[in-house]
Amino acid sequence: MGMQAVRAAVALARETSVVTCILRRSGHLAALGQFVLEAAEKGMVALLCQETPALMALPGSTRPGIGNNPIAFAAPVAGKPSLVFDIAASVVARGNFTQALRDNQPIPEGWAIGANGEPTTDALTALNGAALPIAGHKGIGLAMMVQVLAGSLSASVTAASAAANAASGSAGNVSGFLMVINPDRMIGRDAFDAHMATWIATYRASSAQGARYPGERAAESERVRAFSGIPVPLSVVAELRKAGDLVGRPFDLLPRPA
């Protein structure tokens, strides 16, 4: 649904300056950056955000109060990789707790609280508690903005189900909000490209040697990994093999040596 919405919005944006779209009950869209990148590669500026079931809270909370509600935006950069920024409002994605539990490893301080509202470094306690927001109340504010755009504007049932049982909000019900902007119709392509180039140059000049803007490293990583493969933890390989055996489709790919 995510890519369908982006492609439809991009097509409409050829004829109008700004297109907004609600993705109602889209299900978990995974990394949002891939969708806004699609729009940027077509010359558009794009913003996509999605609500999640409640899994985040401030210290002292005894249950999750709001989703970590990811946000991504992208813009084309003439002659260079697109600028792509993709974050969740929590310090880390909840999947990091699950991976730490698989690997029998602690999580760093500052990632989560337990059900008693106190900080924890235990992955299972974190999964039964809540993820912490980035920058304290500022992360909560970003999550609330997304909740309005993706949740309230879609009359989503996710918040209601989370209020009834915070631990079991269904990711199948979550909704998203998409906005695509056509620079050609807003300011003109030449003016947009020139402004992007100017502020990116200013950013680079003020930063340490080798500074990058968001999206450059990902573009280089894609180029390298298309050739050398994608690193996958051995615990995930083991789960894929187990899943393959269960469905009669063996997962027999061998990890490449480091």
pLDDT at 252: 87
How far, CA to CA in Å, does 251 sit from each of 61, 203, 234, 236, 255?
Answer: 42, 45, 13, 11, 11
125 phi/psi in degrees, rounded to 5 = -60, -40
User: 69 or 255: which carries more pLDDT confidence?
Assistant: 69
Least confident of 1-15, 64-78, 137-151, 212-226: 212-226
Least confident of 109-118, 191-200, 218-227: 218-227
Give residue-wise pLDDT tens across range 229-245: 888 888 888 889 999 99
pTM (two decimals): 0.85
**Is residue 87 scored above 60 in pLDDT?**
yes
- Cα dihedral: 48, 51, 57, 58 (round 10): 30
Query: Domain locations in the chain?
Result: 2-90+133-211, 215-249
Class of domain 2-90+133-211 as given by CATH: alpha beta
**Is residue 161 scored above 60 in pLDDT?**
no
pLDDT at 157: 80
